[in-house]
Structure 1
Amino acid sequence: MSRYLAGRVLEMVPVVVCLSFAAFMLIHLVPGDPATAKLGIRGTPEQIAAFRAQLGLDQSLPQQYWHFISGALTFDFGESIRSQEDVGELIGRRLQPSFLLVGYALLIAIVVAVPLATIAAVRRRSWVDQLIRLLSTVGFVMPSFWLALLLVNLFSVQLGVFPTSGYGDTFSEHLRSLTLPALTIGLGLAPLLLRLLRDSEIETLQSEYVGAARARGLSEPRVLAKHVLRNSATSTVTLLGVLAGVLLSATVIVEQIFAIPGLGSLLVTSVRFRDYPVVQALTLLFGIVVVVAGLLADLVYAYLDPRVRL
């Protein structure tokens, strides 16, 4: 297992290098620059040129990339152009809302998808299976912003159970404020997990070792829990690693809708103001999170199926 882990970590090195280059270049492809966005139309050409020199934007792109990557190696991304705050501290304050939202949404997706997928697999081709598949299709094609508006109208406007926006001050208020955003993301993710897990469970239910377990007199719940779910979870774990990027992109939209002070809303604001250091740091962070999520998914997959390590 240690050799497998070491090999996967080494494979991540060139990926992270490519990610750093993409994180640096993407914001440079956006029209406009920080000096124009900061000074506006009232800034004279001399003022704009002086501000660009102060930010180091008058240097060549290779020089700017070297400063970026050398700072990233020491976790020093400079100061925000917009707020004059340290980029690391600014991102650090926004980490908790985003990662709590992603974890909450992922938990909702798993809680919804696993039992429904198991019921659909056991009752294959019945009206129950058809209904679950229909609902999963509706959930998959529904846009996240439309689902968010429906949830706000029902639970906030009509019932008054959850707040329409904000984050709260205590942990309980955080969870209460993040419930509707997490439902928006989780209900959009659940259909993907449900479809994949259902197909995998149907294939597992037809295997010989499941029939042998039933022949030994094991109860159906034990057969499902010990043999079917465990062996069907490998493909689902792989999908979760791939969907890490989808989760992060969904938080950008949802955080804007519900006014959550997380990384997604910070990224949108920073792009609008051409805040290069913040955008580059966030892009690199999101990319590394996706890579690490893929690594963790592979490790869990290797644990569930030892043949992968070979």
Structure 2
Amino acid sequence: MGRYRFILWRPLQLVPVLLGVSLISFLLVHSIPGDPVRVLLGTRATASVIEATRAQYGLDQPLALQYLYFLKNLAAGEFGKSIIFKVGIPKLVVGRIVPTLFLLGYAILLSVVIAIGLAVLAALYRGRLPDQLVRVYSTAGLGLPAFWLGIVLIILFSIELGLFPVSGYGETPLEHLHHLFLPSLTIALALSPVLIRNLRASLLVEMEADYVKAARSRGIAEARIFRRHVFRNSLIPTITLLGVNIGWLIGGTVVVEQVFSVPGLGSLMVSSIFARDYLVVQVVTLAFALAVILTNFIVDIVTVALDPRIKL
């Protein structure tokens, strides 16, 4: 149990990280040109109405005081109300978080399947045609922008072949799988090249390790050595790399949700930024930061569980 002692103190790091994220997001969103009250009321609103609305939402206070009020409300569980959507922010975020979580889980699953399949193929056929093709894909895939890849997939599979919807989320779980396949595949095709390169390299190193040679000399079947030893040990750095890339993955959903019109947190953040809906942007940013921290925490636990030699 000593190896898992970090589980007790690691959550304490959550507080300063979230405070830093909240401060940076607060300063950045308030530096965006424009006034959310004018966006809300339109160009014909009188000066008195604008000032009254600013006072209603606390936007007439100094920035430092607004930030302190924001922290105070967060500590009390009061997230405020969206200026543009006119509903409580918790209700707004909860309504949008499920599509984003579904998309993230779907994309991670596809990324892992693609990465494991192609990396194992490349390692087993090292130097031959399958390995060369996988290496070309993993190199070319690093330079493909997610928004461009999404548009290409829409043109090919939605418009030309009519196999998948252009946008939306669907109503039932099966419809979710159908509607979100192309968005998830877009993210997976952008993420998997990094995982493939890492896993392929780890597999090749493990396949030449001394303990593998010793197992072969004892007559143990190659498939059993690969499955029980080589593959498991090679997964550890790849899992760590996947955890590091979760931040990029979450950021990628913002762009992909816009391309495919998925009603998730990413599209909510973009629309809130354009509308200068400060509170919504800050809360969604904190939600993304919390997701990244918790994911890295889970990755640390899995890494320690896979390799008894690792201590955090």
**TM-score range, shorter-chain basis?**
over 0.9
Please report how far the alpha carbon of residue 66 of structure 1 lies from its aligned counterpart in structure 2 after TM superposition: 1.9
1:187-229 Cα deviation digits (max 9, x unpaired): 1111010001111111111111111222232222221221111
Corresponding position: 1:241 with 2:243: yes
CA distance in 1 between partners of 2:178 and 2:297 (Å): 31
Aligned residues: 310
Match of 1:258 in 2: 260
Query: 3-state DSSP class of the match of 2:309?
Result: helix
Match of 1:211 in 2: 213
- Select between 21-30 and 230-239 the one with higher mean Cα deviation: 21-30
Match of 1:52 in 2: 54
CA distance in 2 between partners of 1:298 and 1:248 (Å): 18
Match of 2:155 in 1: 153
Corresponding position: 1:42 with 2:44: yes
Corresponding position: 1:296 with 2:298: yes
- Select between 200-209 and 300-309 the one with higher mean Cα deviation: 300-309
1:83-104 Cα deviation digits (max 9, x unpaired): 2101001100111110100110
- Select between 274-283 and 25-34 the one with higher mean Cα deviation: 25-34
Identity of aligned residues (%): 46
Please report how far the alpha carbon of residue 50 of structure 1 lies from its aligned counterpart in structure 2 after TM superposition: 1.6
Conservation of the 8 A alpha-carbon contact between 2:4 and 2:301: no
Please report how far the alpha carbon of residue 41 of structure 1 lies from its aligned counterpart in structure 2 after TM superposition: 2.3
What is the letter of the counterpart of residue 92 of structure 1? V
Conservation of the 8 A alpha-carbon contact between 1:117 and 1:194: yes
- Select between 213-222 and 167-176 the one with higher mean Cα deviation: 213-222
CA distance in 2 between partners of 1:214 and 1:29 (Å): 63
Conservation of the 8 A alpha-carbon contact between 2:164 and 2:182: yes
Query: 3-state DSSP class of the match of 2:42?
Result: helix
What is the letter of the counterpart of residue 70 of structure 1? K
Q: 1:197 aligns with which of 199, 214, 229?
A: 199
CA distance in 2 between partners of 1:16 and 1:2 (Å): 23
Match of 1:269 in 2: 271
CA distance in 2 between partners of 1:61 and 1:80 (Å): 18
1:48-100 Cα deviation digits (max 9, x unpaired): 22211111011122221122112223432111100210100110011111010
What is the letter of the counterpart of residue 81 of structure 1? I
CA distance in 2 between partners of 1:82 and 1:197 (Å): 46
Please report how far the alpha carbon of residue 4 of structure 1 lies from its aligned counterpart in structure 2 after TM superposition: 1.7
CA distance in 2 between partners of 1:146 and 1:2 (Å): 43
CA distance in 1 between partners of 2:290 and 2:27 (Å): 16
1:1-310 equivalences in 2 (<5 Å): 1-309=3-311
Name the CA shift for 1:307/1:73 in 2 (closer, same or farther; >3 Å).
farther
CA distance in 2 between partners of 1:239 and 1:226 (Å): 21
- Select between 292-301 and 189-198 the one with higher mean Cα deviation: 292-301
What is the letter of the counterpart of residue 31 of structure 1? P
CA distance in 2 between partners of 1:219 and 1:12 (Å): 46
Conservation of the 8 A alpha-carbon contact between 1:37 and 1:273: yes
Regions of 4+ moved over 4 Å:
none
Please report how far the alpha carbon of residue 255 of structure 1 lies from its aligned counterpart in structure 2 after TM superposition: 0.8
- Select between 292-301 and 118-127 the one with higher mean Cα deviation: 118-127
Query: 3-state DSSP class of the match of 2:34?
Result: coil
Please report how far the alpha carbon of residue 125 of structure 1 lies from its aligned counterpart in structure 2 after TM superposition: 2.2
CA distance in 2 between partners of 1:207 and 1:288 (Å): 39
Conservation of the 8 A alpha-carbon contact between 1:23 and 1:281: no
RMSD: 1.5
- Select between 264-273 and 45-54 the one with higher mean Cα deviation: 45-54
CA distance in 2 between partners of 1:74 and 1:102 (Å): 30
Query: 3-state DSSP class of the match of 2:79?
Result: coil
CA distance in 2 between partners of 1:224 and 1:24 (Å): 50
Conservation of the 8 A alpha-carbon contact between 1:167 and 1:260: yes
Name the CA shift for 1:93/1:242 in 2 (closer, same or farther; >3 Å).
same
Please report how far the alpha carbon of residue 32 of structure 1 lies from its aligned counterpart in structure 2 after TM superposition: 1.5
Name the CA shift for 1:213/1:134 in 2 (closer, same or farther; >3 Å).
same
CA distance in 2 between partners of 1:153 and 1:208 (Å): 50
What is the letter of the counterpart of residue 7 of structure 1? W
